[in-house]
Chain A
Amino acid sequence: MDHMEDAGRQEKLVSARRAGLVACTRCTRVWPAGTDVCGRCGSDLRSRDYRSLQRVWAWLTVGIICYIPANLYPMLRTRVLFTETESTIVEGALDLALHGAVGIALIIFIASVMIPVGKFIAIGWLAYSVAKPLTMEPHRRHKLYEFVEFIGRWSMIDVFVVAILSALVQLNVAAAINPGPAAFTFALSVIFTMLAAQSFDARMIWDTDEDPRAR
């Protein structure tokens, strides 16, 4: 691995914005400030997308709203012979743990409860910290952002588990598993929080690093 030398070989790193340029976040080409569309890849150019914060908050809010019914309504309806049981996300995880599959129960609990809740807090905090002067070091905030971006998709595990079980376990009178309404709202919650994380303009994290007043 090998680090880039910085522009102009100065000691301090300079951002494209400081240099009077606007960078394309997709293909990394730089253009004079004020250019609207990247000539290389055709993406829209914005030096900093301050309005992105509104989008982050909007997606995050609907994500949280969808997460509430996802926990209250059943995720799975299991019928063995003539007894039907319904289980929510947490009940499903507890059930697995009681059957001795503690590791799998932990995966479900982490993917369906800890990651979504952690994501709500992390995205909200990142968006808040860009708008308000906070003291957390940019490197750590950046690590948090990368982690949130990486981990978000994995919450979909539980939705896929429900899909596989519902397709597979259809054994006439012996047993059947069907999806509950929570599968739908949970999937929506994951999709909306992924959109919230994508809307966040990570470059704003570093602006305070160069100039405390550059907001």
Chain B
Amino acid sequence: MPQDRTEDLDELIACPVCDTLYHARMPGIGERVTCSRCHHVLIAPKDGAFIRVIALALTVMILMLGATFFPFLSIDAQGFSNAASVFDSALAFMDGGWMVALSFATAALIVLIPVLRAALVIYVLGPLAFGRKPWPGARAAFRWSEDLRPWSMAEIFVIGVAVALVKVSDLARVDYGPAFFMFAALVVVIVLQDGSMCRWTIWKTLEDKKSS
């Protein structure tokens, strides 16, 4: 193993989950390379992925803006009615002392972090998609975006909505607002965006473009 020449190490790849060492080999577009020990996906390039990921990330940001502030659900019972937006849901814990912290956490998990991730991805991939040098801090931005991934919980919020609807249905009549459908679409777009990102390709491109 040539340890003194770091450029040779460029051709090796180690599985991040089980540390198994491989010769990196670019698969065909749309194919996947997985670790043969733990089956972690190592490389999965997609055709025109950068442009597609940017488009999906922009969609996330626009949908989230609408989904946050338009009425999400409304109920009425015995002559009283109330409408709530996603923003209201996040602020539901606002009135009780230290519960305020929970309000901020909820707002972060379902609105801020998904939007921030979309913004970071656009910042990282924007220049790369047009074959330019990455913008300053692109590496840190992509590290952040990856760290925030498990904390982006929009899809879990949607399941929470389904459960809440069942709980409310025998108390009052429920109507869906425009934001309900925007949020449902948003979750699909987030899943599509994460699915079309090949982390290895992005890191490799960031490294190659930096030195060129």
Write out, one digit per residue, whether chain B residues 170-212 have a CB within 8 A of any chain A CB (1) or not (0).
1110000000000000000000000000011001101100000
Enumerate chain A residues within 8 angstroms of B159, measured Cβ to Cβ. Answer: 107, 154, 157, 160
A154 and B156 contact, CB distance less than 8 A:
yes
Count of residues in A whose CB is under 8 Å from the partner chain: 79
B73 CB-CB contact with A under 8 Å:
yes
B136 CB-CB contact with A under 8 Å:
no
CB interface residues, A 4-20, toward B, < 8 Å: 4-7, 13-20
A40 and B207 contact, CB distance less than 8 A:
yes
Enumerate chain B residues within 8 angstroms of A203, measured Cβ to Cβ. Answer: 17-19
B21's contact among A19, A181, A205, by CB below 8 Å, is which? Answer: A19
Enumerate chain A residues within 8 angstroms of B48, measured Cβ to Cβ. Answer: none
B80 CB-CB contact with A under 8 Å:
yes
Enumerate chain B residues within 8 angstroms of A198, measured Cβ to Cβ. Answer: 150
B38 CB-CB contact with A under 8 Å:
yes
A120 CB-CB contact with B under 8 Å:
no
A43 CB-CB contact with B under 8 Å:
yes
Enumerate chain A residues within 8 angstroms of B36, measured Cβ to Cβ. Answer: 3-4, 6, 13
A42 CB-CB contact with B under 8 Å:
yes
Q: Chain B residues in contact with chain A, CB under 8 A?
A: 1, 3-4, 6, 9-10, 12-23, 25, 27, 31-38, 42, 73-82, 84, 88-93, 96, 98-99, 101-102, 105-106, 109-110, 139-140, 142-143, 146, 150-151, 153, 156-157, 159-164, 166-168, 170-172, 199-200, 203-204, 206-207
Q: How far is it, in angstroms, between the C-alpha of A94 and the C-alpha of B105 when the chains are bound?
A: 28
CB-CB nearest in chain B for A160? B160
B92 and A179 contact, CB distance less than 8 A:
yes
Write out, one digit per residue, whether chain A residues 136-168 have a CB within 8 A of any chain B CB (1) or not (0).
001100100000010011101111111111111
B9 and A42 contact, CB distance less than 8 A:
no
Interface of A is mostly: mixed
Q: List 18 A-B contacts (CB under 8 A).
A: A1-B31, A2-B34, A3-B36, A4-B42, A13-B20, A13-B21, A16-B19, A23-B15, A27-B200, A29-B9, A30-B9, A142-B17, A173-B80, A175-B77, A175-B172, A179-B93, A202-B18, A206-B38
B142 and A41 contact, CB distance less than 8 A:
yes
Enumerate chain B residues within 8 angstroms of A7, measured Cβ to Cβ. Answer: 12, 21-23
- Given A3-B34, A6-B21, are A168 and B12 also a contact pair (CB < 8 Å)? no
Give B41 Cβ to nearest chain A Cβ, in Å.
9
- Given A154-B156, A184-B101, are A142 and B38 also a contact pair (CB < 8 Å)? yes
Number of residue pairs spanning A and B whose beta carbons lie under 8 angstroms apart: 255
Give B183 Cβ to nearest chain A Cβ, in Å.
11
Enumerate chain B residues within 8 angstroms of A139, measured Cβ to Cβ. Answer: 38
B99 and A142 contact, CB distance less than 8 A:
no
Q: Chain A residues in contact with chain B, CB under 8 A?
A: 1-7, 13-21, 23-33, 39-43, 80, 96, 99, 101, 104, 107-108, 138-139, 142, 149, 152-154, 156-175, 178-179, 181, 183-184, 187, 191, 194, 198, 202-203, 205-206
A165's contact among B164, B170, B206, by CB below 8 Å, is which? Answer: B164
A96 and B172 contact, CB distance less than 8 A:
no
B170 and A99 contact, CB distance less than 8 A:
yes
A32 and B3 contact, CB distance less than 8 A:
yes
Enumerate chain A residues within 8 angstroms of B37, measured Cβ to Cβ. Answer: 13, 206
Give B202 Cβ to nearest chain A Cβ, in Å.
9
B20's contact among A14, A41, A175, by CB below 8 Å, is which? Answer: A14
A161 and B167 contact, CB distance less than 8 A:
yes
CB-CB nearest in chain B for A162? B92
